[in-house]
Amino acid sequence: MEGFGLPAVEAMALGCPLIASTAPCLPEVCGDAALYAGPADAGSWISAVRRLCNEDSLRRHLAEKGRARAATFSWRRIAEAYLLLIADIDLC
């Protein structure tokens, strides 16, 4: 499993309309900038792909939301968050 969802952030930053798994971390990372499908639910994946193929406005909307969402992440913020987590663990 992906620990953070970096491939999703990279896709959003490039303006790729995203279909993501409901597996841990991805809904938190992608927020409302993606469609979601259960990891073992083939029907949800097929439905989401069909929606992206057939709905131009949905593709544009997800691309715009994705770029905005990706812009909220930075290497500095991620590093600072990890440092704080490590410091909290060290104090235990």
pTM of the shown model? 0.78
pLDDT above 50 for 57: yes
Tell me: the pLDDT tens digits for 18-46? 999 998 889 999 999 999 999 999 999 99
Structure tokens, 10: 């990279």
User: Where does residue 5 fall: left (phi above 0), alpha (psi -120 to 50 degrees), or beta otherwise?
Assistant: left
Split at pLDDT 50, 70, 90, the class of 91 is low
Above pLDDT 70, what percent of the chain?
Answer: 93
What is the three-class DSSP state of 67?
A: helix
Q: What average pLDDT does the segment 6-15 reach?
A: 95
CA separation for the pair 65, 13 (Å, rounded)? 10
pLDDT above 50 for 1: no
